[in-house]
Structure 1
Amino acid sequence: MILTVAFYTFVVFAGIQITYYLLFSSFLFKQKKRKHKTDQVPVSVIVFAKNSAAKLQENLPFILAQDYPVFEIVIINNDSIDDTLEVIDTFKKKHTQIKIVNVANNEAFWNNKKYSLTLGIKASKYDHLVFTDANSKPISEHWISEMSKNFTIKRTIFLGYEKYRNEKSFTNLLIRFENLIQAMKCFSFARYGSPFMAFGNNLAYKKSAFFKVNGYINHIKIRHGVEDLFIRDAATKKNSSFIVSEDSFIETDAPKSFNTWFQDLKIKNSLIKHYKFKHRFLLHFFTITKAIFYLLAIVLLFFYPWETIVLVMLTYFLIQFLVIGLSAKKLKETQLIFFLPLLEISLLLIQISIFSANLISKHIHWK
């Protein structure tokens, strides 16, 4: 009796996981062409920089080389202690479209990126904004064009894709795989009219969308979650969409160590509690059902006819492989497909360890 219940539970959870992956595939299909697109509007590119002298020298030329008629580059120097300001000044002398917003320490908003971005947005000349970071670079000279071409009176927020640089290490594979899964979630939720996150180094929106929700005021005291919490407040089914053409991609440095990335994941996980309830539920349910699916699979392989369990698992892996494979091809991460089962199980174990660590931390704090 118990084995029968466990088996049917296993099948149900396999079905739930397959349903999730089929839903995640929605962003792969062509979107309806929007009518009444704007012409090539003037754009302000907002670049956040903190102690980024070397990276600005490396990446800023790619922004300056954009094939776009009218744009300015607003560089926010967020209280840097290296040569960031000197590097920006050097570029500014040669390129008149660069504007510097030099943010000094503010006791009330110390080290607060949201405060610095607000100053950059207010200093920008144009109404259409495209955001990136000094550590990132567009992979195409048509990046601004791709990120801004679909603005309309109603469509005021666009989510872009940020990919990590490919390096030869298993940690880098894991980082890029987690980023790919996040992208699938991000764009599929947006496709269904329920956006919940954005890649902060590749995001576009109008000033009107920013000021309509009073910017970051609702979460200014929360240090992280600049983009996700803005999307929570500002993005709707009618005013937001996403761009996944290759020319729209931004490439950025991956975290240099497993520990750095692990801490980043903990921060991401802690932000979920600030999402809307439906997003919290759907995201947690995806992870929980996956964990239970694998746990039941391991147990049932020992106590139930293994041929049946293997058949269910092969069905799951086939659907997963197709969806992730097509997504990886679309987002130019095809290398990840060859390590799929290992990467998924590794990421799941990491997520479980983060969940457990947070539980222990809360318990100690409560005591």
Structure 2
Amino acid sequence: MILFLLAGWLVVLAVQVGCLLFLFARTALRPVADLAPPTAPTTGVTIVVCAHNEHDNLLELLPLLTAQDYPLYEVLVMDDRSTDLSDVLLDEMVTLLPNLRFIRIDVEAAHVTPKKYALTIALKKATYPVVLLTDADCRPASDQWLAGMVALLGNKDTEIVLGISPYERAPGLLNFLIRSETLFTAVQYVSLALAGRAYMGVGRNLLYRREVFFRHKGFYSHMRIWGGDDDLFVNEAATAQNVAVSLHPDTFTTSAPKRTWADWKRQKQRHLNVGRQYKNGDKAMLGLITASHVLTWLLGLGVAGYVLYLALTEQREALLNPMLLAATGLFVLRFGLFWGIIGRISHRLGAMVRWYAIPATDLLLASYYCLSTARMALTFRQKQTGW
């Protein structure tokens, strides 16, 4: 039995080390170009913000968007059935801020979810051939946000630019879990994009050409699914050649995370439902990464129990088992690589998690993924059996 346990642990550790060295290290070591290179394009851009009852956020955000250092752009706000006087605010701000306009949506479409309907209208009404998406509760890191994102369209094959959007830091376990999970999600989607396997982006910071949106019929294949206006669209439209990633800190956007466990739980449930719609190859890759992460710690606990048993029964010679020594050494290597590589990426992505907290993030995420998987399995069984 112990041989099977050690063999399994060696396999998952090898998978983890491989992911860290050959996948995640791409993000850790990727050079970041200076903003606004001489060949930066001057393509017109429409910044799109969908807002439902976001009066206070719009009051803060719109001056930042209209102050971007870029020669040709507009800011288009989609006021989606707001009841908090957002339309009154927007009427006033249009007269005060340059390049700002808004469209009011008064009815909810029957055939598509509200945000996807608002975004579809925005893509049809946008003045310019490129759109940059963000949310009302986001804040660009600098006035170079727009210019830096657009600069990556310099390659004629590039149609989609994935941006980074960290969450604000706050005290408490929930905030730490959200930042940890957001960090590891970014590690995965950025690293896979750099490897030519882009599978998602975040609508808080996402740029693409309008042409690619209409070529893929917008959100047609998932228009009734709540969420997915960002990651499912990228999952469909991305190729090995048409995606770039912006890692310059001036092109990040920050946003406020959920503040209650109930709100975060609803958000994660929506994300899980969307994730089920990914391409099979992407689901398999993400499943392998997640499963190996969880099993690294679960099997490690089993091995630790075995080692403790040997120590208590004074079977010291068994502690020199070559397979046990190899697995322990590989675990130490994996632990150090995770701390170093993920810590380096976290630093590059706005210090989502401080370097000294990366080991806690490692264990917390393994626990979270394990509990989430168990909960999904239980839910599936309840649906199958009816209890």
Deviation at 1:109, TM superposition (A): 4.1
Residues 6, 296 of structure 1: 8 Å contact kept: yes
- 1:344 is aligned to 362
Deviation at 1:69, TM superposition (A): 1.1
Q: In 2, Cα distance between the equivalents of 1:220 and 1:340?
A: 38
| Cα distance change of structure 1 residues 144 and 184 upon mapping to structure 2, 3 Å threshold | same
- TM-score for both structures, normalised by structure 2: 0.89
Q: In 1, Cα distance between the equivalents of 2:383 and 2:8?
A: 35
Within a 5 Å distance, the mapping from 1:42-53 to structure 2 comes to 42-53=44-55
Q: In 1, Cα distance between the equivalents of 2:55 and 2:32?
A: 42
Matched AA of 2:136: A
SS of residue paired to 2:50: strand
Q: Which of 276, 282, 285 matches 1:279?
A: 282
Deviations 1:90-115 (A, max 9, x none): 21111241111111223414752111
Q: Which of 224, 246, 250 matches 1:247?
A: 250
How high is the sequence identity, in percent, across the aligned residues? 23
Deviation at 1:340, TM superposition (A): 2.1
Residues 37, 150 of structure 1: 8 Å contact kept: no
SS of residue paired to 2:59: helix
Within a 5 Å distance, the mapping from 1:27-46 to structure 2 comes to 27-30=27-30, 39-46=41-48
Q: Does 1:148 find its partner at 2:147?
A: no
Q: Does 1:314 find its partner at 2:332?
A: yes
Q: What's the RMSD between the two structures over aligned residues?
A: 2.1
Q: In 2, Cα distance between the equivalents of 1:297 and 1:358?
A: 23
Unaligned runs of 5+ in 1: none
- 2:79 is aligned to 77
Residues 24, 188 of structure 2: 8 Å contact kept: yes
- 2:192 is aligned to 189
Deviation at 1:237, TM superposition (A): 1.1
Q: In 1, Cα distance between the equivalents of 2:4 and 2:373?
A: 27
SS of residue paired to 1:161: coil
Deviations 1:172-211 (A, max 9, x none): 1211111111111111111111110101110001111111
| Cα distance change of structure 1 residues 328 and 144 upon mapping to structure 2, 3 Å threshold | same
- 2:121 is aligned to 119
Q: In 1, Cα distance between the equivalents of 2:98 and 2:64?
A: 16
Residues 76, 116 of structure 1: 8 Å contact kept: yes
Q: Which of 253, 265, 272 matches 1:262?
A: 265
- TM-score for both structures, normalised by structure 1: 0.94
Q: Does 1:105 find its partner at 2:104?
A: no
Matched AA of 1:332: G
Deviations 1:72-124 (A, max 9, x none): 00001111111211221121111241111111223414752111100011111
- 1:232 is aligned to 235
Q: In 2, Cα distance between the equivalents of 1:12 and 1:352?
A: 18
Matched AA of 1:317: F
Alignment: residue pair count = 365
| Cα distance change of structure 1 residues 293 and 39 upon mapping to structure 2, 3 Å threshold | closer
Q: In 2, Cα distance between the equivalents of 1:353 and 1:303?
A: 24
SS of residue paired to 1:163: coil
Residues 132, 207 of structure 2: 8 Å contact kept: yes
- 1:14 is aligned to 13
Q: In 2, Cα distance between the equivalents of 1:170 and 1:338?
A: 16
Q: In 1, Cα distance between the equivalents of 2:235 and 2:352?
A: 31
Q: In 1, Cα distance between the equivalents of 2:265 and 2:212?
A: 33
Q: In 1, Cα distance between the equivalents of 2:341 and 2:117?
A: 39
Matched AA of 2:370: I
| Cα distance change of structure 1 residues 155 and 37 upon mapping to structure 2, 3 Å threshold | farther
Deviation at 1:5, TM superposition (A): 2.3
Q: In 1, Cα distance between the equivalents of 2:6 and 2:284?
A: 24
Q: In 2, Cα distance between the equivalents of 1:338 and 1:331?
A: 16
Q: In 2, Cα distance between the equivalents of 1:315 and 1:249?
A: 32
Deviation at 1:158, TM superposition (A): 0.5
- 1:288 is aligned to 291
Deviation at 1:361, TM superposition (A): 2.3
SS of residue paired to 2:230: helix
Residues 25, 184 of structure 1: 8 Å contact kept: no
Q: Which has more radius of gyration?
A: 2
Deviations 1:279-300 (A, max 9, x none): 1001111111222221221111
Q: In 1, Cα distance between the equivalents of 2:30 and 2:292?
A: 29
Q: Does 1:204 find its partner at 2:185?
A: no
Q: In 2, Cα distance between the equivalents of 1:70 and 1:356?
A: 50
Q: In 2, Cα distance between the equivalents of 1:102 and 1:218?
A: 25
Residues 28, 341 of structure 2: 8 Å contact kept: no
Within a 5 Å distance, the mapping from 1:157-172 to structure 2 comes to 157-172=160-175
Q: In 1, Cα distance between the equivalents of 2:156 and 2:299?
A: 50
